[in-house]
Amino acid sequence: MVKKVAVIGAGVSGLSSLKCCLDEDLEPTCFERSNDFGGLWKFAETPKDGMTRVYRSLVTNVCKEMSCYSDFPYQEDYPNFMDHEKFWEYLREFAEHFDLLKYIRFKTNVCSVTKRPDFSETGQWDVVTETEGKQDRAVFDAVMVCTGQFLSPHLPLESYSGVSQH
């Protein structure tokens, strides 16, 4: 029986997780709350979804040889250090090359991930999602959380005296 995997987030790690699932003959479904893949690398002048995004003048500070997927090198004509548009283009090429987009459900929020009542026997999870106001529930054998570390800012302002929290 093919194992079903929920992948939450279609950014850099979500895309690579989708590919790894397919490499292992698993059946992935990716849930992405925005209308496109790329996570924080998808530039938006004024993000409406509250997500952190790259800024207009961003250029990577890691060379292309160290920032590519191990099984999908950058094209030779790519610059050593890329602006956000070129990096997002690379993500698009990766997603299209491995035919990943068909596994992504866009504009879908994950509402909850809970162990099923028989989890100790099956290891399965209940995943509740919402797409355009309609809730859905599905059972998965595994869940990969690929939401990234930049979703919500962590500002330890209480650690610094004299810093206003307003």
Q: Over the stretch 139-165, which tens digit does the pLDDT of each residue have?
A: 999 999 998 766 555 566 677 666 655
- Asked if 135 contacts 129 with a C-beta cutoff of 8 angstroms, the reply is yes
* Short-list 112, 87, 115, 92, CA closest to 104: 92
pLDDT digits (tens, 9 = 90+) for 75-125: 788 877 877 788 788 899 999 999 999 999 999 999 999 999 999 999 999
What is the distance between the alpha carbons of residues 68 and 83, in angstroms, rounded to a whole number?
14
3-state secondary structure of 118: coil
pLDDT confidence band for 45 (50 / 70 / 90): low
What is the distance between the alpha carbons of residues 166 and 155, in angstroms, rounded to a whole number?
12
Other beta carbons within 10 angstroms of residue 75's beta carbon come to 9
Residue 26 predicted with pLDDT over 90: yes
* Short-list 1, 2, 3, 10, CA closest to 98: 10
Q: Domains, the chain, ranges and CATH? A: 4-159 (3.50.50.60)
* Short-list 117, 100, 136, CA closest to 11: 100
Query: pLDDT value at position 155?
Result: 61
What is the distance between the alpha carbons of residues 138 and 75, in angstroms, rounded to a whole number?
39
Query: How many residues does the structure list for the chain?
Result: 166
- Asked if 85 contacts 78 with a C-beta cutoff of 8 angstroms, the reply is no
Q: What residue has token string 């355009």?
A: 132
Higher pLDDT, residue 144 or 72: 144
- Asked if 128 contacts 112 with a C-beta cutoff of 8 angstroms, the reply is yes
